[in-house]
Chain A
Amino acid sequence: MATPAKNAKPNPVSAQTQSEGLSDTHKKTSSHEISGAEIVIRCLNAEKVKFVFGYPGGAVLHIYDEIYKQNGFKHILVRHEQAAVHAADAFSRATGEVGVALVTSGPGATNAVTGIATAYMDSIPLVVISGQVPVPAIGLDAFQEVDMVGVTRPCVKHNFLVKDVRDIAETIKKAFYIAATGRPGPVVVDIPKDITAHKTSFHYPETVEMRSYNPVLKGHSGQIKKAIKLLLEAKRPMIYTGGGLVLGDGAPELVKLARTLGYPVTNTLMGLGGYPASDPQFVGMLGMHGTYEANMAMQNCDVLLAVGARFDDRVIGNPKHFLSEKRTIIHIDVDPSSISKRVKVDVPIVGHVQAVLSEMNEVLSTEKIKNEVSAWWAQIGEWRKVHGGRYENSDLVIKPQYVIEKLCEVTKGDAYVTSDVGQHQMWAAQYYKFDKPRRWINSGGLGTMGVGLPYAMGCQFADKNAQVACVTGEGSIQMNIQELSTCAQYGLPIKVILLNNRYLGMVRQWQEFFYEDRYSESYMDSLPDFVKLAESYGHVGMQITKPSDVEGALKDAFAMKSKFVFMDFITEQKENVFPMVENGRGISEMILGDTKKSDNNKGVK
């Protein structure tokens, strides 16, 4: 947010404290004392932060002045604070490091809230530093004042208001520690402007000890042995992994475990890439738009190993229906409150997924595996034939699924793929084959439209030579379209894959299925000319209207290695996402095809 206009009348309290700068107690400063603003910068550099995504404004001017003087981290100037937090979030998802965003007080802070809530729902470690009005002005409705600690309380792992310059270093140390450990999440550090002007000596603590926060890392050995025993006796075993496996960097251990056992694996939307999609043991994503075989296997298994997943409503649908089949559930999670929240668990294992899985692998290496599950695999093979991810391709109109399949081929399945929220997100999840973790970047929990472009920015900063594709819709892309400017400023060679169906596709699909085709406010009229729009920022714009041009256009776009390319694919308007589990139903109650177009319309129940 910008500083107030020149003729705006400043708040008397803030004007006074800002002009004085230092209060009495801090006036005597010796030469080794530095300002709170400089301390903030020194802390971030001590944490080896590479990028800070932010936007300046009144309350953070002291901090921005110190940014100007330093050459540790690079500051990335976004066009809206929401995008700053999303970009920091994606940087973290892609690298595993803590993402950092910096915003000013009031509207800068509230603009950041959607980004913070998005990261919170997906357990992404972030440190968000927000400016605050000077301490004496707090609570007096000062210009650009908002109670940031109060506003963000329900959507952060923790937050702090720093009221003494001597607390800044320790607070930032704690913020990074809390954000990254246990179940990760965003931490907000709110710093009043006068505190950034006060001076004190700087000492960055090397370690943190908090009596109230000691996350459990190592799993209970007895529970682990019990879990292995159950897995080895299973007749219809299933491994279900989520975002926690990816965030906990446990994928290699999981792959080892799954291959040793030879059991089927499914990933949640957040967990894609946790197990290689091209591996024959992978049965695809599960859930509301999961594969037929994944959902059927999930429903009918007798022993379920859940790893870093939380049985949420989009994954298992109605918990009563899910529990109507008897099975034994083993659940590994770093967060005890995720265990037995929606579904009662038989063998809970609280611990870091990587530590628990490697201990499981050790136990398993001493066991003789003679478990026979070929009948179960035969059953899964039958289920695979039922739907198999088919869609009806066309020579006349571009099918969105076809674009994603070609995108996967052209990028050799190795791109960072970000998405927004809606049908295109589901098609990207279904048709791009993610073989590596941290390559699929999307808002799974909060479902935030507008994340796609800032997410792509975060990925490109994380890996400047990587192929980064932002799969989006014409609704979502317009929610953070201003970031085309940021991409121009930093020369980010992102490829936007816009699946343009002139509808808010997922809303329209629900209206078709559940509201008798009453398309209330889901049609997008007056779309911009995306080609010209992209070009106006100095990017390359393309519009693709014919199926036969899809592959060539993608190849051309990705061949332009240093260019940002905006690809506007004019697609089939009323394509639906299948399979689909209706809200509130069981996951084995899928709708497999379009009632209007095919015979495959009964829905298997």
Chain B
Amino acid sequence: MKHIISILIENEAGALSRVAGLFSARGYNIESLTVAVTEDSTMSRMTIVTSGSDEVIEQIIKQLNKLIDVIKVLDLNDGKFIERELMLVKVKASPQYREEMKRMCDIFRGRIIDVADGSFTIELTGSGSKLDAFIESLDNTVILETVRTGASGIGRGDRVLKI
């Protein structure tokens, strides 16, 4: 099953490689990994999307906690949470497609952020599955390139990951 794991980690050189190295060394899946500094510049917040049986996820959490630089680990799937990902898609927008592209973009609440002679660049945010759905709804031949940030996640309401 897919899990989204949030990690607070010391903002130090090499911290990312410790986490990435742990996943590759122990053969765990990474679907996506995002990391950036938090409001406290000594800490980074990382979101990892992974999958595995309950036993594997339990080991992943334990192994992450064992890393010296890791301050806190939270499996967001243990409660309610929000997941968001940003995607930029460049699509063909020749005259006969322009209207349809605009319509599709509106349906998914995306924004066209760059317009050129033959193409649009669309910005879309949402859960990973929403972004997948958008890609699927487009004809493959109109997509010129896609870039996704990977998911960020945060607990709902009182669920706060903080030291």
Contacts and interface: CB of A to CB of B under 8 A. Distances in A.
A336 B65 contact: yes
A540 B65 CA distance: 52
A322 to B, nearest CB: 15
B70 interface: yes
Interface string B5-46: 000011001100110010001000000000000000000000
Nearest to B13: A161
Contacts of A161: 13-14
5 contacts: A150-B14, A150-B17, A153-B21, A212-B70, A337-B63
Interface of A: 149-150, 153-154, 157-158, 161, 178, 210-213, 335-337, 340-341, 344
B69 interface: yes
Contacts of B80: none
A212 B69 contact: yes
A337 B67 CA distance: 11
Output the residue of A158, A211, A335 with the most chain B CB within 10 A.
A211
Nearest to B12: A160
Given A212-B10, A340-B55, A153 B63 contact: no
Nearest to A159: B14
Contact of A149 (B14, B55, B62): B14
Interface string B62-101: 1101101111000000000000000000000000000000
Q: Is the interface of B mostly helix, strand, loop or mixed?
A: helix
Contact of A212 (B13, B14, B71): B71
Contacts of A212: 9-10, 68-71
B132 interface: no
Nearest to B163: A211
A293 to B, nearest CB: 31
Contacts of A344: 55
Contact of A157 (B9, B14, B68, B71): B68
Nearest to A157: B68
Contacts of A211: 71, 163
B93 to A, nearest CB: 43
A154 B26 CA distance: 10
B149 interface: no
A263 to B, nearest CB: 29
A210 B68 CA distance: 9
Contact of B58 (A150, A210, A213, A340): A340
B146 interface: no
Contacts of B63: 337
Nearest to B10: A212
A102 to B, nearest CB: 22
Closest 6 CB pairs of A and B: A337-B62, A158-B68, A212-B71, A154-B25, A336-B62, A213-B68
B112 to A, nearest CB: 41
A211 B10 CA distance: 9
A22 B69 CA distance: 31
B59 interface: yes
Output the residue of A210, A337, A341 with the most chain B CB within 10 A.
A337
B38 to A, nearest CB: 14
A341 B65 contact: no
A344 B58 CA distance: 11
A158 to B, nearest CB: 4
Contact of B59 (A150, A157, A213, A341): A341
B96 to A, nearest CB: 52
Given A153-B14, A161-B13, A210-B68, 15 more contacts: A149-B14, A153-B21, A154-B21, A157-B68, A158-B68, A158-B69, A212-B68, A212-B69, A335-B66, A337-B59, A337-B63, A337-B65, A340-B58, A341-B59, A344-B55
A161 B14 CA distance: 10
Contacts of B59: 337, 340-341
Contacts of A337: 59, 62-63, 65-66
Contacts of A153: 14, 17-18, 21
Interface string B118-129: 000000000000
Contacts of A335: 66
A212 B9 CA distance: 8
A178 B68 CA distance: 8
Contacts of B71: 211-212
A161 B15 CA distance: 12
A157 B63 CA distance: 12
B161 to A, nearest CB: 14
Contacts of B58: 340
Contacts of B62: 336-337
Nearest to A336: B62
A589 B63 CA distance: 32
B46 to A, nearest CB: 13
Nearest to A337: B62
B59 to A, nearest CB: 6
A585 to B, nearest CB: 22
B80 to A, nearest CB: 26
A150 B17 CA distance: 8
A174 to B, nearest CB: 9
A390 B9 CA distance: 55
B91 to A, nearest CB: 40
A335 B13 CA distance: 25
A335 B59 CA distance: 12
A44 B13 CA distance: 25
A341 B58 CA distance: 9
Output the residue of A150, A211, A212, A344 with the most chain B CB within 10 A.
A212
A149 B18 CA distance: 10
Contacts of A213: 68
B89 to A, nearest CB: 35
Contacts of A157: 68
A60 B106 CA distance: 64
A16 B10 CA distance: 34
